[in-house]
Structure 1
Amino acid sequence: MKKIIIIGGGFAGFWSAAGAVRRAIELEKENEVEVTVVSRDSFLNMRPRNYESDLSQVRIPFERILKPIGVKNIEGNVDGIDFDNKTVTVSSSSDTLTLPYDKLVLAAGSILQRPNIPGLNEHAFSVDTYQEASKLHQHLDNLVSKRSLAGCYTTIVVGAGFTGIEVATEMVSRLKRVAEKNGDDPSVVRILLVDHSDIAADFSEEPRAVIKEALSDLGIESITKVSVQSISEDGVVLSNGEKLAALTTIWTAGVKASPLTSHFPVERDHFGRLPVDQFLRVIGTEDVYAAGDCANVLADETHVALMSCQHASPQGKFAGYNLTSNLFEKDSLPYGQPYYCTCLDLGEWGGLVTDGWDKKVMMKGMDAKGVKIEVNTKFIVPPLDDKEEILIESQPNYINKLEDFLPYRYREATV
């Protein structure tokens, strides 16, 4: 029995498993392959949705997506990878396992960058994981006990990139509801978006103007060209010496690849990602692939794939297809994903959809919000309890363009 181990249960990991199973079936080798996903828990966390007010739909039990296609799941933390003996060491609360592999995929995703800022780890919230997002929810629910304190209804969001903008715009309505629930006037709510650079620095001028319009209309204050010096339970101190009172500080300032990439004897990029070829094979290793936020790979001739589910899911499908093909000495398929778009939630204001790597504005306002809801609740969600549909969608290049997914009314919408 050939053993395929996939480290990581996110989008790249799940679709690597599904892609491997599908390819084995195509080659009539499904009875010769055992696929196992090693993950910290037994859920696929829809990480892009952790900013939302309702977390009830952001986790999918593996029982509903891995079990139907015959993939095993082992819960635990990966402590080591022995490339010479082709084994992975996994520890759980009750046991330590040594798992042999014939092919390995590192799809362990990324983690939030946490620089050495006093108070960051102790006092800042985040939406990096489901558990951290849940902790933020609990904190907001408990604000009623702190109504008399300065900054009770003030939130400081650090990092004005994609995640920070979605968190800040969502926090407007969330804090207003908390204030109303506590019997307070929602006008006391104050949201501050802080960044050492500019708001939406990765966007071009046209979409950035839309984002700034939305922030202004929502009453969100932008503080740029300044960094955070320290964080406490009741606020932050900026590098210019200004002190801001807030009982809620949310850190969203960047991510880096899983620390597991450090186990690999190869040079990583500044995000910690592994160099892979166009087949998603880790350069300089044998029988090892990487996909998603752990992989540094070109999406087209000039653009490196981004650390997002938009690129992680297709990469997983290619990695699973290719490692199984290689396992049985069949041809692999080069990964490519030339189409790129963004779909940004802007809270009560609506949303923003851009097209292409130059981020041309395709749609804004409530029409774009409708697209974002469709993306979050349908486009990125794998089929549940349906082996046939899961395997259909695990094909490389299966609907990896937003324009293929959107209903006709959205494609015809104009800004």
Structure 2
Amino acid sequence: MRMLHTSDWHVGRTFHGADLLTEQAAALDHLAGLVRDEAVDVVLVAGDIYDRAVPSAEAVRVATTGMRRIREAGAELVLTSGNHDSAARLGAFAEFAAAGGLHLRTTVAGIAEPIVFDGGEASGAPVAVYGIPYLEPETARHALGIDDRGHTAVLTEAMRRVREDLVARAEGTRSIVLAHAFVTGAAACDSERTIAVGGVEQVPGSVFDGVDYVALGHLHGPQVLDEHVRYSGSPLAYSFSEMSQRKSVFLFDVDERGVGEVRRRELPVPRPLATMRGELEELLAAPEHAPHVDSFVSATLTDRVRPVDAMRRLRERFPYAVHLDWEPEGAETTVLRYAEAVRGRSDTEIARGFLEDCRNAPPNDREETLLVAALEAAGKHDPGQDGEQR
């Protein structure tokens, strides 16, 4: 039996405000193509199908269309809910969906109820797939009937139930576990929502001992914690911290001997990421930035004075610029408490100082006129400051 491990689709998520539904649909189409080309029997999706508990109608359409195409390509699907999903919404109609080859595991009650696949005549070994949804510790510990608190406690109890069920099954049954968690030793990035409770969100990898393969979700970078304990990562980058990651999925076979070689299949990059730094005019003209005109761009401007309308101008060359910082070269940053910053200064001086702090330059004549008019309208202007400040 051949399986494909993926996770963290986050359908409906944007990239610094840029819509990604087209890219997400393409990524799911690629997974369907992999299923067809590699003759995959089961696709495992370890949580965070959607980016929100209440996804938009468009996000639901993209996700369900992707699942349908994967099913049409020949694979059944096993999905668990992640910390971004609403377990109740995702798991609705689970019994009916299973009849069509979509197996949903979103409840504590279903942790020890695996989907059992016939290994076929070639192997003769059944394969039990256990889905552990994201377990919010305080809620889950009550449902699990344990007193201990924290992620480690609830996942330890969940895995105890998995092992107990596995022992009762036919000899030679192979075991796969899907879980959505932060395992110690793995590397996080900026696009993951913290699941910290009381300051502790990580669980030891030993929690998952005793099964043939652990398909992890939650962290967006593909990584191997142990030969058979892996994060597939997200199919798309959701932050610039993922720029160096090679997005991928894991493909493996299961037979009577267990899990065979786990192979990595890299995914296409629908739109690359690029970061750049320099003065605005330089970024708009420098030939070395030409390869990035169709990339998602994060730019850091180093102009001494903050350029006016910088993002609009940047997008004239880089239409997919989505993030902009300003760090003037050689500027000294002094952090003052509010009381210190305004002590002994008139309202006019404070307003002028705020404008200068924002862009590292005093107001020009037009801005000075507008500033005075605004302060006069508010009854805050001090005419005695005009000659000194202009």
Higher relative contact order at CA 8 Å, sep ≥6: structure 1 or structure 2? 1
TM range (shorter): under 0.3
TM-score (norm 1): 0.26
Bigger radius of gyration: 2
